[in-house]
Amino acid sequence: MSARSHQSRLARSIKALTLMEISAKNRSADEQFAVALSHHQAGRLAEAERLYRQICAQHPRHVETLHYLGVLAGQTGRMDVATDLIGRALALKPDYAEARYNLANLLAMGNRLDQAIPHYEQVIALKPDFVEAHFSLGNLYALSKRLDQAAARFRHVLLLKPDFAEAHNCLGTVLADQGNPLDAIACFQRALALKPNFAEAHYNHALALEKEDRLDDAAREYERAVALKPDFHDAYYNLGNVRKKQNRLDDAAKQYERALALKPELHAACYNLGNVRKEQERLDDAAIQYRRALALKPDYAEAYDGLGTALLLQGRADEALACFEGALALKPDFTVALSNRGMALRSLNRPAEALASYERALALDPDFVDALVNRGIMLRDLNRPLDALASYEKALAINPRSAVAYFNLADSTEFVQGDRHLAAMQALVHENLSSADSSMLYFALGKAYADLNDHARAFEHWLQGNALKRSRIVYDEARTIAEFERIKAVFTPALIKEKEGHGDPSAVPIFVLGMPRSGSTLVEQILASHPLVHGAGELRAFGEALSALNGPDGNLLPYPEFIPAADDALLRQIGARYVSELRKHSPTAAHVTDKMPTNFYFAGMIHLALPNARIIHTVRDPVDTCISCFSKLFGHGHDYNYDLAELGRYYRRYLALMAHWQRVLPQGRILDVRYEDVVADLEGQARRILAHCGLPWDPQCLSFYQSPRPVMTASASQVRQPIYSSAIGRRHRYERFIAPLLSELNAPS
């Protein structure tokens, strides 16, 4: 029983007082007392108090009057007065069991448990069959965590009164706290058999059932509790927890919201609602809930961690890292935050620090599966494939149901017939998993069957994985298409001619852009193998440089609409801000690459803000590109990717925008590099790429796969191998499955 429930019961106990026998020794005072008591019991408290005080003035040693005047003071919230009056009664009559019982009640209501307990014990010594005293003492033992004594007291109550439903309920809560859930469940069932409309017993029954993973039964009991007691916020909250475990995320969110409507300060409900919204990929909503939890509980380390993961999924790694550091400042041994901190550091291209963060988490908890998986990813990025596989294998040995471990293992290994992991994944995918876990497993199985040349089954699993992912995201296709058109409308030949040549003069940046899976990682790896080039990977810096601009009114300037009014100083400011961010990755390299694919949105702006930057556009067969995209579950972004028709329409708009850039920018400004040409003639294309970047030839570029630099993209495993041609013509294996994609790719623009 909670402290609040116990106090409520004590208050009811004070109201339900037994009429004492009137002493024959002082008939006049006793007769006056009887009149006062009748007013008291009828709820006429002011009149009762007036009469009690009149008696006390005439008969200051009248024990019953002192007692009941104290009771009345307690009922009206004057606890110190009540305690003093009942104490005076007990000084006159130490064996007055009822007065001592009510004094104990008052002390318990004031959370003075250590003082209340001895009084209850004295009451029981005076009246061994005083059921309510035994019951109240049991509750205080429970609140004081003296569980064995509490259980013994409740059992004694039930010997005296077997049909006492509340005692069965309280004994059940003690047994549950002692780790005896089955005995606890039996107690709650007995309580409910005696009192079917007992909301608290339904709630406690649900808690015990939930601990036994009887989630359907627990949910029904929580629902009964709130049906009987509609303002039962704890029951709504715990029902939300059960629905989340059942992967019924919409209903979980509804229950958390109901709990918060009743109790807005329930910080745990904010936190768990944030977790649900994050799993639903409603990241802005998730961040709002985590911040709400932190406003209510500033030392809430888990909420800092949750906010960090939401920000990291949005690509805001710097802000995410600050959140994880905040969590660890509050809770230095918080292994989850250490693992997530490693993910943020990885996103910020700080691989050594990331690996150290994972290792610290594993030093604290060697069986922490998420940290093992994240360490494996980092080891893969660092070109330590065997160590990466060992980390995934250890994770699966600890938790054979870890979808994320299978997902990353699949990306790092080549499956063969009879592979034990394939059978395990196939069995696991039919279990009750979250949508996110199921999606990862389907992608892993697609990869496995593709390795086995079972292309029909591979594509069947990719379809299912993509459908699950698509169901969790909100993709505004109309807005995306409109953005392409707005960019083309703003960047006219006249605007380019008017504004070019006035940006920051730095020649450091080399942009490698295009669709994902088009060969951009390969091209960057070739460049980064040159001694004058540092490969920085996929950076958000250019888009962030644009999105951080404020107009004279303090409002953000919208891209691309602000471009026609941009003066030379603003263009230089954008370029300089970007170069400053780029230099954080390498302060001294002659050139630094940025291979964020979606920088193709900004090619015209790159030309204006950084006229000496080099731009390389990687191109691959459109169908091969789209199939490769469709076979990958990206970490965040790329919302167009999870439906074949939407993917085809997006690709057409991308292609039209790149054609627009080639028309409006100076000839040769963007170098198109075809993946198929690089495979067919590595040295020829490598020389062409270096020449475009103004770099001398270096034969190390042909040994790109031997570069020790970290590679943190979906193509990390592929660029660790010498050039190969098996990815060319992939379309022919899957053309019979991709009619919606082909239809959109072939549609007129």
Structure confidence by residue, pLDDT tens digits, 356-402:
999 999 999 999 999 999 999 999 988 899 999 999 999 999 999 99
pLDDT reported for residue 20: 35
Distance separating alpha carbons of residues 157 and 186, to the nearest angstrom:
17
So what's the pLDDT on residue 712? 55
**pLDDT score of 120:** 85
Tens-place pLDDT, residues 4-63: 454 444 444 434 333 333 333 345 888 888 988 899 989 899 988 898 898 888 899 898
The torsion angles phi and psi of 144, rounded to 5 degrees, stand at: -85, 5
Residue 237 lies in a domain: no
- Indicate if the alpha-carbon torsion angle 455, 456, 458, 462 is positive or negative: positive
Domain shared by 442 and 573, yes or no: no
pLDDT of residue 23: 38
* Same-domain check for residues 460 and 491: no
**Which of residues 99, 127, 155 is at a domain's end?**
127
Q: Which of 79, 110, 127 is the last residue of a domain?
A: 127
Residue 513: helix, strand or coil by DSSP? strand
pLDDT of amino acid 29: 85
CB atoms within 10 A of CB 614: 23
- Residues 6+ away with beta carbon under 8 Å from 125: none
Which CATH number covers residue 37? 1.25.40.10
Question: Does 728 have pLDDT greater than 60?
Answer: yes
**617 and 723 inside one domain:** yes
Based on the fold, state whether residues 583 and 611 are members of the same structural domain: yes
In one letter, which amino acid is 594? D
**Total domains in the fold of the chain:** 3
Q: What is the CATH number of the domain that holds 596?
A: 3.40.50.300
Residue 674, SS3 per DSSP = strand
What span, in angstroms and rounded, lies between the C-alpha atoms of 280 and 472? 5
pLDDT tens, residue by residue, 416-449: 999 999 999 999 988 888 889 999 999 999 999 9
Q: Are 139 and 13 in contact (CB under 8 A)?
A: no
Q: Return the number of other C-beta atoms located less than 10 Å from residue 692's C-beta.
A: 16
Kindly state whether residues 455 and 594 are assigned to the same domain.
no
CA 74 to CA 105: how far, in whole Å? 10
Residue 479 domain-assigned (yes or no): no
Residue 517 lies in a domain: yes
The answer as to whether 682 is a domain residue is yes
Q: In this structure, are residues 633 and 469 in contact, taking their beta carbons and an 8 Å threshold?
A: yes
On whether both 582 and 495 belong to a single domain, the answer is yes
Residue 451 belongs to what domain range? Answer: 413-472
* pLDDT for position 100: 84
Question: Which residue, among 619, 621, 502, has the nearest Cα to 570 in the 3D structure?
Answer: 502
pLDDT at 574: 95
Residue 87 has a pLDDT of 86
Within-domain flag for 151 = no
pLDDT band at residue 302, thresholds of 50, 70 and 90? very high
CB 517 within 8 A of CB 628: yes
Residues 608, 690 within the same domain? yes
Same domain, 460 and 490: no
Q: What is the DSSP letter of 349?
A: T
The separation between CA 331 and the C-alpha centre of its own chain, rounded to angstroms, equals: 18
Domain end position, chosen among 72, 105, 127: 127
Which whole number is the average pLDDT over 296-301? 97
Is residue 691 within 8 A of residue 645, CB to CB? The reply is no
Judge if 567 and 507 occupy the same domain. yes
What SS3 class is residue 333? coil
What is the spatial distance between Cα 97 and Cα 120, in angstroms, rounded to a whole number?
A: 9
Closest to 165 in 3D by CA, of 139, 112, 201, 140:
201
- Residue 224 included in any domain: no
Do 653 and 595 belong together in one domain?
yes
Rounded CA separation 541/575 (Å):
11
Residue 18 has a pLDDT of 33
Q: How many CB atoms lie within 10 A of CB 467?
A: 13
What are the structure tokens assigned to 359, written together? 């290792």
Residues 242, 243, 246, 248, Cα dihedral to 10°? -170
| Per-residue model confidence as pLDDT tens digits over 173-185 | 999 999 999 999 9
Max distance between CA atoms of the chain, in angstroms, equals 120
- Residue 257 domain flag: no
Count of CB atoms situated within 10 Å of the CB of 331: 18
Give the H/E segment covering residue 454: none
Domain identity same for 467 and 518: no
Alpha-carbon distance of 228 to 429, in angstroms, equals 39
Would you say residue 235 has pLDDT above 60? yes
Query: What is the pLDDT, as a whole number, of residue 722?
Result: 66
Q: 513 and 543: one domain? A: yes
Question: Could you read off the pLDDT of 125-145 as tens digits, one per residue?
Answer: 989 999 998 898 888 988 889
